[in-house]
């Protein structure tokens, strides 16, 4: 067995588990869940083994020809380089924690086995995106992620809100995917290949190979990321996806699905030219600010985190747009840890409060749920970007990038978003965990079982150290392998203070932002019993609470327009096609038939007479 078999196994193990659960073991809850958990943990261990055996910096491809049509050949291949290996480790690692957590969280649910089957399918799909070596394969797994997210978001399909959220997620993604597919076709028609390494070589050999279509192709491919990574204007599905069970939210928001968009942009970074990157970074920056503002006035604990994810994704996309796939991936990795942690922490709270999600009905949970509180606080500090938690380093990397390129507009955006991030996260912590108990449910809350706390501890550990364990260097090797030798190793202390030495402006402004956000949140929410902001901000707070009415806007424009088109199509179908065309033909035939039927009297002698008459007429005609 060669080394390259390992990633194949990692990729297909969860799929196998999903198939086994669906086909055979779904009646046995524990066995099903065990299969699924074992598959993903084995995947994680095997990935570690692979990394241990080959190191980070080996680039391999393992290719099977899948279909060949004339000159056009589609491979099913795995591309293993530092980018995909680290991402694989991240996906299997975070997914493992979430799988274990789901055992505790979903324990009461009748659909326990089904849930694990879906989770496994999701994991395979995501790993497929990570490992794909060409666009077609990537797109297939991309759609599989869409399907499995639909299944998971709509997991409690008997609730209309959940079913609708599933549909919304799927359809919104389809819009982005349409552009993505056009982008793929553009690339294929101009460069004649879909394989990433072939494309990269072609573009290295001739940077103008895409010609006038370069920007269009880049932006169309970015459309896919806009859908999957929920960037403005296709961000609307992500907050609604909170209708799914909390572990699903954690999985979708942390290492999979939304990360897929950013990952894909980094994978095909060589295809994106400067104008396209400019647009990408502004879209990302705008999304970051926009959703951070919304997050400030949300009251549902999961929705706050959802908008926070949107905002952080905006950060990552902005990082890609600022020529920094390395920084974007770095932030993605650290974000995966602390966002999974925050979601699982929120899930622990929700479970303890019997599915109460309004933070104003919590309060005082700090003493009742100490482990959840402390891990949640770690996640918050990491997300806010406090030294030396992981979020600081990755966020600083992106800010530093903006400062380096003198993109001060986007730098300012980043800093403002950092202030808002700290503000809304500490608002959440103060209101939910601090202060007085504000409801019966919160009064009776007690700490969650160990199976839930264990993943929290693990993730909290990585949220703390994620910034200084060299994730960045692995990505750097991927992106800049041509220019630089593999990164020289720095001591831990150097790593911790590194940002201050390299980009003092970004680092200090980032920290200042955290301080401003924290004190604002402290002064407003430390002992608040209701939200003081609506009175101070007035209409703005209302707009923020109502998500700037984007959903309503879409409802009034696109959905209305779509309904009109559907009504017109329905009218055409009902009256023109079914009416005139189908019924017309059938009606004419029937009328003719009814008329002709009158000739069939059933009287033999009439027939005989007509027959004779016919013969006579014929004779007359012939003999004349």
Partner 1 sequence: MNVGIEHYLTVSIILFCLGLLGVVVRRNLLVIYMGLELMLNAANLALVAFSRFNNDLDGQVFVFFIITVAAAEVSVGLALIVALYRKRRTAHVEDLTLMKL
Our CB check for partner 1 shows the closer of 406 and 597 to be 597
The interface region with partner 1, picked from 102-110, 141-149, 415-423, 602-610 by CB under 8 A, is 602-610
Our CB check for partner 1 shows the closer of 27 and 600 to be 600
Our CB check for partner 1 shows the closer of 24 and 611 to be 611
Our CB check for partner 1 shows the closer of 24 and 609 to be 609
Applying CB under 8 A, what is the total number of residues that bind partner 1?
10
Interaction of residue 600 with partner 1, rule CB under 8 A:
yes
Our CB check for partner 1 shows the closer of 501 and 604 to be 604
Interaction of residue 582 with partner 1, rule CB under 8 A:
no
Nearest to 43 by CA among 151, 134, 119: 119
User: Hunting for tokens 């980043």 — which residue is that?
Assistant: 414
Our CB check for partner 1 shows the closer of 567 and 612 to be 612
Interaction of residue 595 with partner 1, rule CB under 8 A:
no
Interaction of residue 619 with partner 1, rule CB under 8 A:
no
DSSP 174-203: HHHHHHHHHHHHHHHHHHS--BHHHHHHHH
Question: Which token pair is 229?
Answer: 């990574």
Nearest to 159 by CA among 21, 309, 355: 355
The interface region with partner 1, picked from 93-101, 238-246, 569-577, 608-616 by CB under 8 A, is 608-616
Cα radius of gyration (the chain): 30
Interaction of residue 604 with partner 1, rule CB under 8 A:
yes
Alpha-carbon span 595 to 600, nearest angstrom: 10
Nearest approach in angstroms of CB 600 to partner 1 is: 7
User: Are 13 and 39 spatial neighbours (Cβ–Cβ below 8 Å)?
Assistant: yes
Nearest to 342 by CA among 467, 260, 510, 455: 455
Residue 615, classified by CB atoms within 10 Å of its CB into exposed (0-12), middle (13-18) or buried (19+), is exposed
- If one counts every other C-beta atom within 10 angstroms of the C-beta of residue 25, the result is 20
Interaction of residue 189 with partner 1, rule CB under 8 A:
no
Our CB check for partner 1 shows the closer of 576 and 616 to be 616
Nearest approach in angstroms of CB 610 to partner 1 is: 10
Alpha-carbon span 514 to 504, nearest angstrom: 15
Helices (H), 196-300: 196-205, 214-228, 237-240, 246-253, 258-267, 274-296
61 three-class SS? strand
* Cα-Cα-Cα-Cα dihedral sign, residues 247, 252, 253, 256: positive
Our CB check for partner 1 shows the closer of 539 and 604 to be 604
Nearest approach in angstroms of CB 589 to partner 1 is: 18
CA distances from 355 to 83, 304, 347, 358 (A): 38, 16, 9, 9
Our CB check for partner 1 shows the closer of 408 and 609 to be 609
The interface region with partner 1, picked from 183-191, 238-246, 515-523, 595-603 by CB under 8 A, is 595-603
Interaction of residue 575 with partner 1, rule CB under 8 A:
no
Residue 274, classified by CB atoms within 10 Å of its CB into exposed (0-12), middle (13-18) or buried (19+), is exposed
Nearest approach in angstroms of CB 604 to partner 1 is: 6
Nearest approach in angstroms of CB 591 to partner 1 is: 16
Question: Which token pair is 428?
Answer: 């959440």
The interface region with partner 1, picked from 514-522, 529-537, 541-549, 594-602 by CB under 8 A, is 594-602
Our CB check for partner 1 shows the closer of 604 and 622 to be 604
Our CB check for partner 1 shows the closer of 594 and 624 to be 594
Residue 374, classified by CB atoms within 10 Å of its CB into exposed (0-12), middle (13-18) or buried (19+), is middle
Question: Which token pair is 97?
Answer: 């924690």
Our CB check for partner 1 shows the closer of 577 and 619 to be 619
Interaction of residue 565 with partner 1, rule CB under 8 A:
no
Nearest approach in angstroms of CB 170 to partner 1 is: 56
Interaction of residue 601 with partner 1, rule CB under 8 A:
yes
Nearest approach in angstroms of CB 607 to partner 1 is: 10
Interaction of residue 597 with partner 1, rule CB under 8 A:
yes
Question: Which token pair is 32?
Answer: 């099903």
Our CB check for partner 1 shows the closer of 23 and 604 to be 604
Interaction of residue 211 with partner 1, rule CB under 8 A:
no
Choosing from 605, 621, 623, 624, the residue that interacts with partner 1 (CB under 8 A) is: 605
The interface region with partner 1, picked from 101-109, 331-339, 520-528, 607-615 by CB under 8 A, is 607-615
The interface region with partner 1, picked from 66-74, 190-198, 457-465, 601-609 by CB under 8 A, is 601-609
Interaction of residue 609 with partner 1, rule CB under 8 A:
yes
Question: Which token pair is 598?
Answer: 């009158």
What phi and psi, each to the nearest 5 degrees, are found at residue 266?
Answer: -70, -35
SS (HEC) of 63-118: EEEEEEECCEEEEEEEEECHHHHHHHHHHHHHHHHHHHHHHHHCCCCCCHHHHHHH
Alpha-carbon span 27 to 19, nearest angstrom: 14
Interaction of residue 602 with partner 1, rule CB under 8 A:
yes
Q: Which of residues 348-387 bind partner 1 (CB under 8 A)?
A: none
Element (H, E) at 64: strand 60-69
Our CB check for partner 1 shows the closer of 572 and 608 to be 608
Alpha-carbon span 191 to 493, nearest angstrom: 47
Our CB check for partner 1 shows the closer of 519 and 609 to be 609
CA distances from 239 to 154, 261, 311 (A): 13, 17, 12
Choosing from 576, 581, 585, 608, the residue that interacts with partner 1 (CB under 8 A) is: 608
Alpha-carbon span 308 to 367, nearest angstrom: 26
The interface region with partner 1, picked from 19-27, 374-382, 412-420, 604-612 by CB under 8 A, is 604-612
For the chain, the residue count is 624
Maximum distance among all Cα pairs of the chain, rounded to whole angstroms: 120
Our CB check for partner 1 shows the closer of 406 and 594 to be 594
Choosing from 492, 566, 612, 618, the residue that interacts with partner 1 (CB under 8 A) is: 612
Element (H, E) at 79: strand 72-80
78 three-class SS? strand
The interface region with partner 1, picked from 70-78, 130-138, 417-425, 606-614 by CB under 8 A, is 606-614
Choosing from 208, 483, 489, 603, the residue that interacts with partner 1 (CB under 8 A) is: 603
347 three-class SS? helix
Which residues sit at the interface with partner 1, rule CB under 8 A? 597, 600-605, 608-609, 612
């Amino acid at each position: 067995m060669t080394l390259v078999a390992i990633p194949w196994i990692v990729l297909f193990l969860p799929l196998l588990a999903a198939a086994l659960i669906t086909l055979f073991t779904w009646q046995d809850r524990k066995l099903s869940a065990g299969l699924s958990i074992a598959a993903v943990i084995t995947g994680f261990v095997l990935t570690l083994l692979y990394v241990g055996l080959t190191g980070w910096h080996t680039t391999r491809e393992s290719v099977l020809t899948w279909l060949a049509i004339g000159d056009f050949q589609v491979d099913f291949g795995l591309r293993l380089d530092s980018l995909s290996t680290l991402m694989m480790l991240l996906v299997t690692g975070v997914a493992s924690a979430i799988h274990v957590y789901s055992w505790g969280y979903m324990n009461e649910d009748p659909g326990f086995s089904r849930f694990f089957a879906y989770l496994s399918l999701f994991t395979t799909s995501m790993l497929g995106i990570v490992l794909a070596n060409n666009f077609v394969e990537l797109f297939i797994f991309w759609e599989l992620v869409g399907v499995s997210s639909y299944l998971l978001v709509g997991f409690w399909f008997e609730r209309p809100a959940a079913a609708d959220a599933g549909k919304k997620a799927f359809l919104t993604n389809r819009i982005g995917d349409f552009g993505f597919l056009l982008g793929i076709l553009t690339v294929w028609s101009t460069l004649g290949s879909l394989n990433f390494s072939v494309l990269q070589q072609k573009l290295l050999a001739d940077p103008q190979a895409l010609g006038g279509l370069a920007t269009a192709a880049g932006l169309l491919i970015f459309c896919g990321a806009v859908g999957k990574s929920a960037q403005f204007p296709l961000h609307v599905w992500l907050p609604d996806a909170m209708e799914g069970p909390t572990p699903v939210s954690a999985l979708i928001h942390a290492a999979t699905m939304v990360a897929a968009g950013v990952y894909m942009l980094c994978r095909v970074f060589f295809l994106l030219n400067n104008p396209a990157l400019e647009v990408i970074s502004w879209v990302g920056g705008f999304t970051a600010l926009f959703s951070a503002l919304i997050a400030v006035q949300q009251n549902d604990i999961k929705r706050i985190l959802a908008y926070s994810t949107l905002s952080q994704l905006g950060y990552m996309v902005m990082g890609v747009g600022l020529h920094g796939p390395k920084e974007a991936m770095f932030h993605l990795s650290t974000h995966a840890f602390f966002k999974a942690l925050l979601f699982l922490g929120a899930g622990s709270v929700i479970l303890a409060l019997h599915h109460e999600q309004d933070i104003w009905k919590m309060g005082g949970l700090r003493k009742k749920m100490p482990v959840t509180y402390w891990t949640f606080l770690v996640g918050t500090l990491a997300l806010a970007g406090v030294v030396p938690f992981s979020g600081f380093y990755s966020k600083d990397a992106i800010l530093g990038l903006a400062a380096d390129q003198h993109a001060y507009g986007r730098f300012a955006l980043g800093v403002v978003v950092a202030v808002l991030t700290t503000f809304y996260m500490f608002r959440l912590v103060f209101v939910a965990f601090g202060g007085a108990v504000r409801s019966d449910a919160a009064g009776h809350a007690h700490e969650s079982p160990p199976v839930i706390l264990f993943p929290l501890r693990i993730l909290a550990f990585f949220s703390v150290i994620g910034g200084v364990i060299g994730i960045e260097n692995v990505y750097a090797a991927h992106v800049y392998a041509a220019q630089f030798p593999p990164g020289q190793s720095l001591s831990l202390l150097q790593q911790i203070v590194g940002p201050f030495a390299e980009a003092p402006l970004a680092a200090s402004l980032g920290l200042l932002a955290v301080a401003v956000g924290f004190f604002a949140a402290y002064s407003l929410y430390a002992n608040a019993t209701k939200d003081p902001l609506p009175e101070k901000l007035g209409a703005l707070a209302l707009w923020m609470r109502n998500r700037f009415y984007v959903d309503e806007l879409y409802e009034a424009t696109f959905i209305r327009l779509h309904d009109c088109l559907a009504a017109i199509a329905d009218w055409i179908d009902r009256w023109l096609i079914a009416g005139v065309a189908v019924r017309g033909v059938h009606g004419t035939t029937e009328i003719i038939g009814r008329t002709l039927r009158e000739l069939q009297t059933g009287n033999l002698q009439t027939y005989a007479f007509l027959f004779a008459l016919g013969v006579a007429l014929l004779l007359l005609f012939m003999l004349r």
